[in-house]
Amino acid sequence: APSHATSTAAARTGLRVAADTLITLFDTPLLAQAGLVEARVVRKALRAAAEGEPLPLDGLADLVALELWLRRLLSRRGTCWTGTPARQRAVPAGITPPRGALGTGATARRA
């Protein structure tokens, strides 16, 4: 089994390689639009961790995963497990993605 140090080193290497993409992901994050994070603070933490500063990586990984999940949820607008039709709203009304955030051809419904 890999040691904690080996896992951390691998995570930091991956973070350095993907830093630009991750920072771009948090240019206009849905989590910030919902008031859950400050995009500037997340981008700063991503840059610092990619440069090797001793920051806890678990929290950053959770933020990235949650942002990706939320974007995927909004882009699907239904469920991939049951094939049921899309609901009127996939998330609480407080999160309204900007035009174009859902990808080509998709539109956001406003309540």
Mean pLDDT to the nearest integer, 97-108? 58
Residues 91-102 pLDDT 10s: 555 566 666 655
The three-state DSSP-derived secondary structure of 2-69 is CCHHHHHHHHHHHHHHHHHHHHHHCCCCHHHHCCCCCHHHHHHHHHHHHCCCCCCHHHHHHHHHHHHH
Residues 24-63 pLDDT 10s: 999 999 999 999 999 999 999 999 999 988 888 888 889 9
Which pTM was predicted? 0.62
72 confidence band (pLDDT: 50, 70, 90): confident
The pLDDT of residue 8 = 79
For residue 84, the 8-state DSSP code is P
